[in-house]
Amino acid sequence: MTVVGAALVPGMPHLLAAEPAPSWKLLADAARQAGQDLRAAGPDAFVVLSTQWFTVLGHQFQVDPNPRGGHVDENWYAYDYGTLDYDLRVDVELAEAWACQAEDMGFQARRTRYDGFPVDTGTVVAGKLVDPDRSRPIALVSCNLYAAAGDLGRIAEAAALAAGKLGRRVAFVAVSGLSSGLIQRWIEPAEDRFEDAGHDAWNRRVLDLLAAGRTDEVLALREEYAREAQADSQLRALAFLAGSGACDRPARVLEYGPVWGTGAAVVTWLDG
Amino acid sequence: MSRVFHITVGDRRRPPQTAPVPTGAPAAELGPGGGDERGPGIVAGFLAPHPPHLIYAENPPQNQPRSRGGWELLRWAYQEARRRLRERHRPDVIVVHAPHWITMVGHHVNCVPNPRGLSVEPIFPHLLRYRYDFRTDVELATAIADCAADAGLVTRKLTNPGVRVDYATIGALHLLNPDWDIPVVSLSANNNPYFYSDADLEQMERLGAATRRAVEETGRRAVLAGSNSLSHLHWDREPDLPEDMAAEHPYDDHQYRWDMDLLTLVRAGRTRELRAFLPRHIEATAAEVKAGSLSWLLSALGWPEIPGDVLGYGTIIGTGNAVIEWDPANPARAHPAPPGWAPGPDDADRPRPMTGARS
Ligand SMILES: [Fe+2]
């Protein structure tokens, strides 16, 4: 089996705070657990999409074998969790094969390999939680906001095909929030909560459907969810994960809670 | 490498400027060098779009990629803007509001004295890998943040030099002043990047008023740059050669006509109507002015009922872009709209924004 499982994890840096809100800590612990569970399924590599690396032209594939450096988040720079170091291990062979497969399927695949390229906060945060020891290399693609959401599903399909050709076993990770309405003021961690009950209700509805294995229903609700609860990138992350083929079963919702008022959840799709 | 200016900022306090010159008022007297004799205050505002293609096409030494040019009409418009900035406006400072320093909580002001570094643009890394090195007018930056907070806005002063400067800020500032020899204040756009929501334009207007107050209180002679494109649906793939101008044209006729209606209001000096038209234009074309830079700019200028001078219009990957100058003391000639004309094309077949644009 090429695809061993999938996970949805939040990319907000608050999960790495030295003094986290209760929900941030629970979410971080859950993301660590999700990583442990995915690794236990035996992948050779992680295939990663982060909605915080959003692009608008073509699909960008990271082909730098070792992006590394410091990243200061342009929103959260004043907090301890706003300054991040990263040192990524990219499976260039898989990324290149993935890009070629995407091209064969008619997509524009752009290779990204530039000194000083700013890796996004979500990719860094998820990496530190899901695979803190960098035990597996990763293959990264951007989230094209101007492409149809279904295209991201096909891009994931391309990753699975490419991995299959290389004999790689892979786990898919999408780094994304749920509702994205932030509390519009500076708060203390203890003050974090959902200020919009409607957003909270929508998030719960979506998670319940995923837990019931009704992935297609959630995909059909994406646009409405985006309108009603400002879903992060119109929940393209789920379209991506579904394209891997891993979401054809009930999901396990490990945690759900607010991060600065946004909805965040850790969800896995694994056998057993 | 960019040159760093050598003027000491904050040493040229002047009494505050009075209210903007109303429509039809005599033009300010031009000095011997063509510069006008106005004192401090906001002397002009530019709509200054920033697509990285324009810097890429100029091949400046600060940018690593090399091009064969392209998008000349817009770049020539910027040449004229530069001439006016240098010869007529002669500002102490350029204040820029840019939509790609997206801050999800609050309005941020860059208070780092000397931002410098390499800005590799995550969306267009093949076009923009720009080494920047400029000076901030920290006194004015601080004053803008304070005035904005006084006006009830959530604010933050950026003092961490590690934050990469975004391509919209770099784009507008480079194109207006490639020598970087005028101090800068850079403002973020309080937006949500993950949902196609619009900025709160009322807040942007308040930020504009606060900017004006801060400029007057610090006695600066300022030029403002609102760094927005107009219509904003565009291709989701790129020609093999980015500067292949055979591939460059409006995304569709719908977007083009809405942009022309906006520019018709600008050229006619119907600014109050423009203010009411902006939300319609945003709704119809996913216009980048939804990020609030134009509302901030015109609010800071006091929504003057004077014509803007459209120095150029062109498309970039299908989006509409105009370089426009508003000069309250020397308003452009008015170009009235035809009798009976009303803004807002009547097109029932308009595409739905953000549903998978295709070239
Ligand atoms: Fe832009």
Q: What is the pLDDT of residue B171?
A: 98
Whether B144 is in a domain gets the answer yes
Mean pLDDT of B158-176: 97
Indicate whether B2 pLDDT > 50. Answer: no
pLDDT in tens, B44-88: 999 999 999 999 999 999 999 999 999 999 999 999 999 999 999
φ, ψ for residue A200, nearest 5 deg: -60, -45
Using the mean position of ligand 1's atoms as its centre, give its distance from the Cα of residue A39 in Å: 39
Which residue type, as a one-letter code, is found at position B349?
D
pLDDT over 70 for what percent of chain B? Answer: 84
Q: How many domains does chain B have?
A: 1
Rounded to whole angstroms, the maximal C-alpha distance in chain B is 57
Contact A256, A204 (CB under 8 A): yes
What tens digit of pLDDT does each residue of B197-238 get?
Answer: 667 899 999 999 999 999 999 999 999 999 999 999 888 788
Q: Number of structural domains, chain A? A: 1
Please report, for residues B42, B55, B267, the alpha-carbon distance to residue B328 in angstroms, rounded to integers and kept in the order given: 9, 29, 14
pTM (predicted TM-score): 0.91
Measured in Å, residue B288 CA sits from the centre of ligand 1 at 7
Of A70, A114, A184, the CB nearest to B105: A184
Find the distance separating the first CA and the last CA of chain A, reported in whole Å: 15
Which pLDDT belongs to residue A51? 96
What's the gap in Å between the CA of B359 and the closest CA on chain A? 10
Alpha-carbon distance values, A164 to A101, A135, A167, A169, B136 (Å)? 11, 20, 5, 7, 53
CB pairs under 8 A between A and B: 113
Amino acid at A272: G
DSSP letter, residue B219: T
Choose among B322, B340, B311: nearest CA to B260.
B322
Sorting pLDDT into bands at 50, 70 and 90, what band is B31? low
Q: What local confidence, expressed as pLDDT, does residue B196 receive?
A: 60
- Residue of B234, B236, B248 best to disrupt the A interface, most CBs of A under 10 A: B236
Position B186 scores a pLDDT of: 98
CATH label of the domain that carries residue A116: 3.40.830.10
Q: How far is the CA of B67 from the centre of ligand 1 (A)?
A: 20
Chain B residue with CA closest to A260: the answer is B105
pLDDT of residue A57: 87
- At residue A226's C-alpha, the angle toward residues A221 and A231, to 5°, is 110
Picking from A51, A112, A148, the nearest residue to B194 by CB comes out as A51
Task: Report the residue from A83, A120, A231 with minimal CB separation from B162.
Answer: A83
> Of the given ranges (B22-36, B131-145, B171-185), which has the lowest mean pLDDT?
B22-36
Instruction: State whether A114 and B125 contact (CB < 8 Å).
Output: yes
CB-CB neighbors (< 8 A) of B355 in chain A: 148
Cα of A81 from ligand 1 centre, angstroms: 27
Closest-CA distance, B102 to chain A, in angstroms, reads: 8
* Pairwise CA distance, residues B55 & B50, whole Å: 8
B103: helix, coil or strand? strand
Task: Please give, one letter per residue, the 3-state secondary structure of B274-336.
Answer: HHHHHHHHHHHHCCHHHHCHHHHHHHHCCCCCCCCEEEEEEEECCEEEEEEEECCCCCCCCCC
How does pLDDT run across A139-174, given as a tens digit for each residue? Answer: 999 999 888 889 999 999 999 999 999 999 999 999
Mean pLDDT of chain B: 88
Residue A140 φ/ψ, nearest 5 degrees: -120, 140
Longest dimension (CA), chain A: 50
At B38, the pLDDT band (50, 70, 90 cuts) reads: confident
Q: Kindly list the residues from chain B whose CB atom is less than 8 angstroms away from the CB atom of residue A230.
A: 192, 194-195, 197
Neighbours of B356 (CB within 10 A): 13
From chain A, the residues in CB contact with B109 under 8 A are none
pLDDT of residue B260: 98
- Residue A72 to residue A193: CA distance in whole angstroms: 25
pLDDT in the model for residue A1: 83
Q: B357 pLDDT band (50/70/90 cuts)?
A: very low
Please tell me the predicted confidence (pLDDT) of residue B214: 98
What Å distances lie between residue B116 and A125, A142, B162, B219, CA to CA?
25, 27, 9, 27
Q: What percent of chain B has pLDDT over 90?
A: 80
Q: How many residues does chain A have?
A: 272
Closest-CA residue of chain B to A116: B120
State the distance from the centre of ligand 1 to the C-alpha of B51, rounded, in angstroms.
6
pLDDT digits (tens, 9 = 90+) for B299-323: 999 999 999 999 999 999 999 999 9
pLDDT at B34: 55
Per-block mean pLDDT, blocks of 10 residues, chain A (272 long): 96 98 98 98 98 92 97 97 97 98 96 96 98 98 90 97 98 98 96 97 98 98 95 96 98 98 98 79
Q: Is the pLDDT of residue B351 over 90?
A: no
Check if the beta carbon of residue A260 is closer than 8 Å to that of residue A183. Answer: yes
Sign of the Cα torsion B212, B216, B218, B219 reads positive
Measured between beta carbons, which residues in chain B are less than 8 angstroms from residue A70? Answer: 162
Interchain proximity A180–B122, CB inside 8 Å: no
Boundaries of domain holding A149: 3-270
- Strand pairing category for B93-103 and B309-316: unpaired
pLDDT value of position B36: 63
What gap in Å lies between CA B81 and CA B72, rounded to an integer? 14
The continuous run of DSSP H or E covering B130 comes out as strand B129-133
Torsion of CA B173, B177, B178, B184, to 10 degrees: -50
Partner-chain contact B120 A151, CB within 8 Å: no
Please report whether residue B129 resides in a domain: yes
Query: Which domain range does residue B297 map to?
Result: 41-326
CB B114 within 8 A of CB B246: no
| Residues B236-251: tens digit of each pLDDT | 788 999 999 999 999 9
- Those residues whose C-beta lies under 8 Å from the C-beta of residue B97, and which sit 6 or more positions away, are B187, B189, B204, B207, B224, B225, B226, B227, B292, B293, B296, B297
The three state secondary structure string of chain A is CCEEEEEEECCCHHHHCCCCCHHHHHHHHHHHHHHHHHHHCCCCEEEEEEEEEEECCCEEEECCCCCEEEEECCCCCCCHHHEEEEECCECHHHHHHHHHHHHHCCCCEEEECCCCCCCCHHHHHHHHHHCCCCCCCEEEEEEECCCCHHHHHHHHHHHHHHHHHHCCCEEEEEECCCECCCCCCCCCHHHCCCCCHHHHHHHHHHHHHHHCCCHHHHHHHHHHHHHHHCEHHHHHHHHHHHHCCCCCCCCEEEEEEEECCEEEEEEEECCC
pLDDT, one tens digit per residue, over B15-30 is 333 333 333 333 444 5
**Predicted confidence (pLDDT) at residue B338 exceeds the cutoff of 90:** yes
Kindly tell me if the per-residue pLDDT of B279 is higher than 80.
yes
Q: Which of B185, B146, B139 is nearest to B165 (CA)?
A: B185
Answer whether B96's CB lies under 8 Å from B227's CB. yes
